[in-house]
Amino acid sequence: MYSQTEILKDERLLTPDGSEGELVINIGPQHPATHGVLHLVITLEGETVKHVEPHLGYIHRSIEKMCESLSYRQFIYVTSRMDYLSAHINNHACAMTVEKGLQIAIPERAQYIRVIMDELTRIASHELWWGAMAMDLGAFTPFFYAFRERETINEIMEQTCGARLTMNYMVPGGVMADIHPTFQQKVKDFIKLFKSNIDEVDELVTGNIIFQSRMKGVGYLSCEDAISYGCTGPVGRGSGVHCDIRKIYPYEIYSQLQFDEIIETGGDCFSRYLVRVKEMKQSIRIIEQLIDNIPPGDYQAKTKAVLKLPKGEFYTRVETARGELGVYIVSEGGTTPYRIKFRSPGFSNLSALNHMVRGSKIGDLMATMGTLDLVIPDIDR
């Protein structure tokens, strides 16, 4: 027979002196065959989070080393498999880096098409995040609503590029093929659909008192800490950090467009949520300025079949759906890169997780993780 104290030791993890001890639990990993595997080792005291330690590498594919064995045309498309929800934008960054090294002038038509595709990608990514975020907190219906608009974007992508997720559309000098004859009309139809349904986001989720209670004041990250951890994208802007690459270092035709950088100063989960919802509206605003004004001309600049970057170092950054993606290439003048390094937004954003959740309840961890919007292959690479 066990005494009452011994039973309590087993059930409540009491230490020998009778005080309550710490419990270490694992969240993840799921099966390595799944697309995003994150392993968190969490130290708890009761339901209070004392420490979170991410364990990475379950789907590490050594993408940077793979790219160093590929040509300057081939390596671009490996990056579609990193942040697969920003595949167009990843490819765009790589193509721009090659173009910077070769000093290629991009046709204006190609620039318009690239930016439209980037912003459609951003909306599709944020739509999926919105549905998944709500589902993480127990609301299942928004997941289906989110996929309604996202499916329309995927159909446009499929018609234009032949693929729905990893499009492989950007090439050094422009885009691989011209837009479909019905592309402009379908994009305008999507804009109309999006505007008619965007209020459902606020009706279903934003104004929900239960959702607000789970989000407000949770996962706080100050502006100073966001900068210290290198957080970018909606995570940084949710803490008041001015970090939109499209505004700070505008590329393509972003400098000619009218749109707002969405910044919230609350620093909590709700602020990061609001940034992404408002960013979708700004992406629509950008597309509206472009869709009826796509100039005629070439969709791709003339380039050599085999590309050789001059000897040197080249760096380009873009704004993906998750933040700043940097592409760094070291060339020795050959047909393949000597060294490639990707600065992915997810890695820096994840580094702040322990700071954000330490001292909170384990239930709040789900909300904080959701507002980081992590895509694990972007982190593992």
Q: Are residues 41 and 100 in the same domain?
A: no
Q: Are residues 94 and 164 in the same domain?
A: yes
Could you give the count of Cα atoms lying within 13 Å of 191 in the half-sphere of its Cβ? 20
Which pLDDT belongs to residue 133?
Answer: 86
3 has pLDDT over 70 = no
Return the closest-CA partner of residue 200 out of 141, 288, 260: 141
In 277-361, where do the E strands start and end? 312-319, 324-331, 339-343
Q: Are residues 30 and 117 in the same domain?
A: no
H helical segments located in 220-293: 223-229, 233-237, 245-248, 269-291
Q: Are residues 269 and 235 in the same domain?
A: yes
Q: What residues contact 11, with CB distance under 8 A and at least 6 apart?
A: none
Asked if 327 and 342 touch (Cβ cutoff 8 Å), the reply is yes
Return the closest-CA partner of residue 92 out of 282, 254, 316: 316
Q: Are residues 176 and 125 in the same domain?
A: yes
Q: Are residues 142 and 70 in the same domain?
A: yes
Q: Are residues 156 and 46 in the same domain?
A: no
Which pLDDT belongs to residue 189?
Answer: 92
Return the closest-CA partner of residue 94 out of 66, 121, 122, 72: 72
Q: For 62, phi and psi rounded to 5 degrees?
A: 55, 50
Split into its structural domains, the chain has a count of: 2
pTM over 0.85: yes
Q: What is the separation of C-alpha 241 from the centre of its chain, rounded to a whole number of angstroms? A: 17
Which pLDDT belongs to residue 8?
Answer: 37
Domain that holds residue 27: 4-55
Which pLDDT belongs to residue 17?
Answer: 47
Q: Are residues 124 and 152 in the same domain?
A: yes
Asked if 50 and 44 touch (Cβ cutoff 8 Å), the reply is yes
Q: Are residues 154 and 37 in the same domain?
A: no
CATH number of the domain residue 353 falls in: 1.10.645.10
Which pLDDT belongs to residue 30?
Answer: 67
Q: Are residues 68 and 50 in the same domain?
A: no
Tens digits of residue pLDDT in 245-299 = 999 999 999 999 999 999 999 889 999 999 999 999 999 999 999 999 999 999 9
Q: Are residues 30 and 158 in the same domain?
A: no
Tens digits of residue pLDDT in 298-351 = 999 888 888 889 999 999 999 999 999 999 999 998 889 999 999 999 889 999
Q: Are residues 220 and 158 in the same domain?
A: yes
**Which residues on neighbouring strands pair with residue 73, listed in sequence order?**
none
pLDDT tier, 113 (very low <50, low <70, confident <90, very high otherwise): very high
